[in-house]
Amino acid sequence: MQRKGPQISSVDRPLPKGKSEVSLSAFAFLFSEIVQYHRTRASSIAELERRLEDAGTGVGVRMLEILSYREKGNRREIRLQGILQFINTNIWRCLFGKVADSLEVYNDDEYVISDRSPLVNRFISVPKDLGDLNCAAFVAGIIKGVLDIAGFPAEVSAYYAPVEGQIHPRTNFFMKFSPEVLDREARLGT
Amino acid sequence: MSQDIDPLDLEWRNRAVLAQEAGVPPGVHSLWIINKSGGLVYHKTYADIPHIDVNETMRLASMWHAIHAMSIQISPVEGCTGIELLETDQFDLRCTQTPTGTKFFVTAAPKTLGLEHLLRSVYDLYSDYVMKNPFYEMEMPIRCELFDTNVLSAVRNHNAQLGNY
């Protein structure tokens, strides 16, 4: 094969925009296999959730990097509010095609992103014997990956929160930040 | 094909009306799903029809599996895909088989229209909420909450549309 035009090295080429959509079915089957893979290797529900979280962390690390390039002009957020908004809008829109339903403050160091029906759980019915298992732990891992690599170490967990008047509970992603994050925020001022 | 039936056709009206007069509930009665080896994996009733015991349903399902296979063998022409419609005075049974050998069938009041479309949408729901569920084991009975609720609303939708005819 002969290439036309002058050769451009890959670092000089502009970053591709990236396809905005992939097949939901293909993703759903892949995710289903990921859950089954970890389920056979985990001895408890907590361990399964931790394994899913670990699997998501790698996605988060890469997402921060590529979206900082694509959408933020090669800059990353250094303030807590900024990074939370970035996850709530940019990351969510790129991964799930929509903005998360809400972002709330619980405490000074505790924040919650809420989603009525996370994409990863769309086709999943958790059997009764697995209790409160929420496969969106994978998404919690993505959030954790973004926060960790951006310099906001935090504990992130996913859990079901019942909504009044609705059969299906929404999923909350609870983030608890390390004290050093808040110290730095206080130092930087408003 | 029930779609080709003219709703004003006399025979069509007669059977539908006679069944209704005999007390057959209108619309869809029940849904069955049989795996490729003839085991019953899903059975739900949606109308007020006599209850069938669990063991009996499993026996009936494997029998239907056998009759379906027989119909392919005794067909006088090549390429027969098995029984699609069974008509009786009290109910219609419409069956469809997927390329992987899973059979879906519904029972409904005689001459209920569009059952093949209902089966098609149940197959869609099956591939979404059963096959993509990591907690479902292949060929085992289906216990998926989302599948139950979506099939129920598909059946209700179908029954509601029937009111238009």
How high is the ipTM of this complex?
A: 0.81
From chain A, pick out residues whose CB is under 8 angstroms from the CB of B128. 28, 123
Task: Tell me the per-residue pLDDT of A142-187, one tens digit each, with 9 for 90 and over.
Answer: 999 999 999 999 999 999 988 888 878 899 999 999 999 999 999 9
| Four-residue CA torsion sign, A161, A163, A169, A171 | negative
Task: Tell me the per-residue pLDDT of B95-110, one tens digit each, with 9 for 90 and over.
Answer: 999 999 999 999 999 8
CATH assignment of the domain containing B129? 3.30.450.70
Q: B135 and A125: CB-CB below 8 Å? A: yes
Q: Which domain holds residue B8?
A: 2-162
Answer whether A155 touches B (CB < 8 Å).
no
Q: B134 and A35: CB-CB below 8 Å? A: yes
Per-residue pLDDT band for B64 (boundaries 50, 70, 90) equals very high
From chain A, pick out residues whose CB is under 8 angstroms from the CB of B125. none
Q: A25 and B132: CB-CB below 8 Å? A: yes
Chain A residue closest in CA terms to B130: A123
Task: Tell me the per-residue pLDDT of A109-143, one tens digit each, with 9 for 90 and over.
Answer: 899 999 998 999 999 999 988 888 999 999 999 99
Reduced DSSP (H G I as helix, E B as strand, rest coil) percent helix, strand, coil of chain A, to 5: 50, 15, 40
Give the separation between CA A179 and CA B56, rounded to whole angstroms.
Answer: 63
What residues does each domain of chain A span? 24-188
B145 CA: distance to closest CA in chain A (Å): 6
Give the separation between CA B129 and CA B26, rounded to whole angstroms.
Answer: 28
Q: Is A125 helix (H, G, I), strand (E, B) or coil?
A: coil
Answer whether B124 touches A (CB < 8 Å).
no
Q: Is A114 helix (H, G, I), strand (E, B) or coil?
A: strand
Answer whether A33 touches B (CB < 8 Å).
yes
Q: What percent of chain A has pLDDT over 70?
A: 94
Spatial contact of B138 and B39, defined as CB atoms under 8 Å apart = no
Q: Is the pLDDT of residue B1 over 50?
A: no
For residue B79, count CB atoms less than 10 angstroms from its CB and return exposed for 0-12, middle for 13-18, buried for 19 or more: exposed
Token digits of residue B57? 């349903």
Q: Is A131 helix (H, G, I), strand (E, B) or coil?
A: coil
Q: A33 and B134: CB-CB below 8 Å? A: yes
Task: Please report how many Cα atoms fall inside a 13 Å half-sphere around the Cα of residue B90, on the Cβ side.
Answer: 6
Give the separation between CA A98 and CA B125, rounded to whole angstroms.
Answer: 24
User: What is the CATH code for A24-188?
Assistant: 3.30.1380.20
Structural domain count of chain B: 1
Answer whether A28 touches B (CB < 8 Å).
yes
